[in-house]
Every structure is written in C-alpha cells, then in structure tokens.
Amino acid sequence: MPCQTPIIVALDFPDAASAMAMAERLDPARCRVKVGKELFTAAGPAIVESLQQKGFDVFLDLKFHDIPNTAAGAVRSAAELGVWMVNVHASGGRRMMEACREVLARRAGSQPLLTAVTVLTSLEQEDLQEVGLDIEPMVQVQRLARLVQDCGLDGVVCSAREAKALRSTLGDDFKLVTPGIRPADASGDDQKRIVTPAQALENGSSYLVIGRPITSADDPAQALDTILDSI
C-alpha cells in the first residue's frame, strides 16, 4: 500500500543491520524512510534496495554539491536505484541544478522527485555570518527557493519556519521538505530552526523529516503513532 502520511523517518544508523532492524518496526504505509550520508557510506546502494523490497519509498538524502557534470551523474545514479526522492544543495547554483534536472528529464522510466537544500536546519543567523553570509536564514531560504523553482526542481529542503512564506509565494505544487521537526517536549539536539509536527503542517510543509524523536524512542512505532495523532 502506498504511504498515506507526510512523515519521512531519517534512518541515521552506522550499519545496515541497525537500519533494517528499525525498518522492521515501521510500516511503509505510515512513513517513508530517508537514507543519509552515514548509512549510505556504510551500507551502500544495497541498503536502498533492501528498504525498497520491504515496501518503503526511499528519500536518498546525499545533498549532492559539485560541478554540474559530477552532480548530474550522481543524480542519475540515484535515479537508477529507483529512489523516490533525491537532493542536491541549492548553493551549487543554477547550472548545477539545471544539469541535474536535465539528466532526469532525458532518462526513460520513472523519475525521482528532485529537491534542493536551502539553509540547513542546524544553522542560525550567527552561523551564516561566520561563513560570510550577512543575511537572515529566512531571507536566504527565500532567495534560494526562488532559484530552485526557476531551475525546474520539484521543491526544497528548508525549516518549517520558512514554510508559510514559501508556500504563499511558490504555490501549492512546490514540495517543502522540512527536517528540524520536534514534538513540543523533545530535545532539539543539534537542530536550531525547529518546529512541532502540527505547526509544520499548518505552515504548509509537504513532508516532515523526523529522525531521533522516532528512532531513539523506546517504541519507535508508538512514537510515530503519537506524532501522527498530533497532526
């Protein structure tokens, strides 16, 4: 059965066995899953195939950021794995994003959603300043999201704090993928621009990326259910 909810569970684990043990406790009709840099570096494409065989839609969150030819090749390889979504960094610029979009358009068969990271949810204004960006996260996210849409991508990764403004300017079809989601009583961990699940959806998020609040819970399926009840 296709996934019926907007939740994407981040499987940030050091090996395939731990990730698959977590996947066993989740239901592909109730969440999608995300494979990021830690798990993919340890377990490779085989982990994507194993999760897909269990019925999960996989978001391959490798945040490609390279010269256009290299990034486009990486996106093509991701598409060949049959992933549901793949992403790049918007700061890779127009030519990189257009090359990634074009490589997917030229491919026969089903295409993954292609999204771009704007400003990581672990960053706040002082962090941007330190890397030479004298700008509020909200303003930088809006600037990059307009560029991403102009390059023909399907959506952005941003904080749900920015979702309301983006939804009103970029329209209903543009995907807003929002990590940094925390239930009201949860630790923020290393996240800075956090939002509760219910508020994120009210702001216009399309998908909520949630890792530790689910995967570190004693009962991950129950933690997911509690979040689903709250939205």
| Residues forming a β-bridge with 155 | 115, 175
Tokens of 130: 């330190």
Dihedral-angle region of residue 183 (phi above 0 means left; psi in -120 to 50 means alpha; beta otherwise): beta
- Give whole-number Cα distances, 45 to 60, 84, 167, in Å: 10, 14, 33
Verify whether residue 63 is a known catalytic residue: yes
* Shortest Å, Cβ 214 to ligand LLZGTKA7: 8
Q: How far apart are CA 157 and CA 113, in angstroms?
A: 12
**Binding segment (CB under 6 A) for ligand LLZGTKA7, from list 40-48, 89-97, 161-169, 209-217:** 209-217
User: Which of 63, 164, 175, 192 is the catalytic position?
Assistant: 63
Which residues ranging from 212 to 231 are in contact with ligand LLZGTKA7 (CB under 6 A)?
212
* Shortest Å, Cβ 7 to ligand LLZGTKA7: 11
Q: What one-character DSSP code corresponds to residue 88?
A: E
Q: State yes or no: residue 178 binds ligand LLZGTKA7 (CB under 6 A).
A: no
Q: Which residues of this chain interact with ligand LLZGTKA7, rule CB under 6 A?
A: 10, 12, 36, 117, 120-121, 157, 179-180, 189, 191, 209-212
Catalytic residues: 63
